[in-house]
Amino acid sequence: MKNGYRHLIIDADDTLWENNVYFEQAFQRFAAFLNHSALDMPTVRRRLDEIEHVNRVRHGYGARQFGRNMQECFAALCERSWTDADLETVMDIALDIMAQPLVMIDGVQQTLAYLQPRYHLTLFTKGDPAEQRGKVRASGLEDFFEEVVVVKEKDESAYHALLERRGARKEESWMVGNSPKSDINPPLAIGMNAAYIPHPRNWHLEEEPLIPGKGKLLELSAFTELRRHF
């Protein structure tokens, strides 16, 4: 344990393994299936973004939820009479995301092996619980963590609840992740510390400016750099 810190809380998707790239590929397949005569791909993406922004409160996150959003988008934009079979095809495109190989980000396993004896490690992610826990099991990383916690949203109240659950003091705790919206700004706002590791293909709806808070902010270029600071 260095510098009096005890708890490292670590994000999963696009922090430990690749994730958003598969959603991007699914969207490209969806746009090709829609094959709109007038709307280009960025315009279709903006319409889907609007639907996702509204529905994530109700549906949450994950491949199935993404499929429901694409179905709604397809029904709204399709230039012909669509059928149930069309909507099934759209959902199949989304569900194929879960069939993709789990690709670990470089150096994750070695870095977790270094951190585990020194800190209390918690995996903290949002999304569909069954889907997320399935990815954790497939990753082979589960034993590095004292607990895996899956929540609907990672906001300030979720971080307060996590600290209470783990018996952790905010000033002794760091959140590690790639998303300013979910991993960095909320913990900083409540007085936790945060290590920001940007991902080159982060989900754009998770992007927002970094907002200074009560806690310390560390900006890193790779997960392996955690060894230099902890």
Instruction: Give tens-digit pLDDT for 142-196.
Output: 999 999 999 999 999 999 999 999 999 999 999 999 999 999 999 999 999 999 9
- 50 with 79, same domain? yes
Q: Among 99, 125, 156, which residue terminates a domain? A: 99
Q: What angle do CA 28, 70, 23 make, to 5 degrees?
A: 45
Q: Among 84, 99, 114, which residue terminates a domain? A: 99
What is the residue-averaged pLDDT of the chain?
94
Question: Kind of pairing, strands 173-177 and 7-10?
Answer: parallel
Can you tell me the distance from the alpha carbon of 10 to that of 211, in angstroms, rounded to the nearest whole number? 19
Can you tell me the distance from the alpha carbon of 154 to that of 162, in angstroms, rounded to the nearest whole number? 10
Per-residue pLDDT, 74: 97
Please give the helix or strand (H or E) that residue 120 lies within, else none: strand 120-126
User: Is pLDDT of 2 > 90?
Assistant: no
User: Is pLDDT of 3 > 90?
Assistant: no
- 116 with 28, same domain? no
Would 182 be classed as within a structural domain?
Answer: yes
Q: Among 45, 75, 99, which residue terminates a domain? A: 99
Looking at the DSSP bridge assignments, the partners of residue 143 are none
Global model pTM greater than 0.85: yes
- Write out the residue range of the structural domain in which residue 27 sits: 20-99
Can you tell me the distance from the alpha carbon of 3 to that of 171, in angstroms, rounded to the nearest whole number? 11
Mean pLDDT for the stretch of residues 109-137 = 95
